[in-house]
Amino acid sequence: MKCESCNKKHATVHLTEIVGSVKKERHLCEDCAQGFNSQIAKMPSPTEILTSLINQVAPEISEMSKIVCPVCGLSYLEFRSHGRLGCPMDYTIFRKGLIPLMEKMHGGTQHVGKVPSKAGKELIKKNEVLQLRNELNKAVEREDYERAAELRDKIYELSGDDTEDH
């Protein structure tokens, strides 16, 4: 195919412009394309496009994108693109961005999974008391005071406290 501009050389550059629903193709040789290239408006860089998208889609990410860990130098955007933190300080520095991610992935920010089989009885008891306290708080919020009293008694029993003293 010959160049559409000079009609002499072989067309090696193929440009496609889409405006609305109209598609316009141009086939140019390298020399004509270089001349044509100066007429084309400067295309934004991938970083500029990403920054623009972030600003439009998620203002909180835009705010977080300016944060860099002073210890390891990792930026929040680098963490989001690689999925790994650089150092323990990142948990503190990126806390505002990490909390929503953890809640979305795990449904909460505290581990409530199974206790390892080799764990001691104290750890198992401690986890059970934590679960009961969460249930107690929910019962009080619902104003279910009978259930709250039962949970309170179970907590005292597990903690080794005597319910008559309280």
List, run by run, the mean pLDDT of 10-residue segments along the chain (166 residues).
90 84 88 70 69 69 81 87 88 86 79 68 81 91 92 88 48
pLDDT at position 166 = 46
β-partners of residue 2 are 10
Alpha-carbon distance of 19 to 22, in angstroms, equals 5
C-beta neighbour count of 3 within 10 angstroms: 20
What pLDDT is stored for residue 150 in this prediction?
A: 93
- Asked whether 148 and 141 are in contact (CB, 8 A), the reply is no
Of 3, 43, 10, which Cα lies nearest the Cα of 26? 3
Q: Alpha-carbon torsion 39, 35, 2, 27, what sign?
A: negative
Q: What is the pLDDT of residue 66?
A: 82
CB 9 within 8 Å of CB 2: yes
How far apart, in whole angstroms, are the C-alpha atoms of residue 154 and residue 166?
13
Compute φ and ψ for 15, nearest 5 degrees: -110, 140
The reported pLDDT for the residue numbered 163 is 45
pLDDT for position 153: 93
Nearest alpha-carbon partner for 87 in 109, 106, 110, 68: 68
Contact between 23 and 16 under an 8 Å Cβ cutoff? The reply is yes
In the chain, at which residue ranges do the beta strands (DSSP E only) sit? 13-19, 22-28
To which H or E segment does residue 84 belong? none
Structure tokens at 124: 């198992």
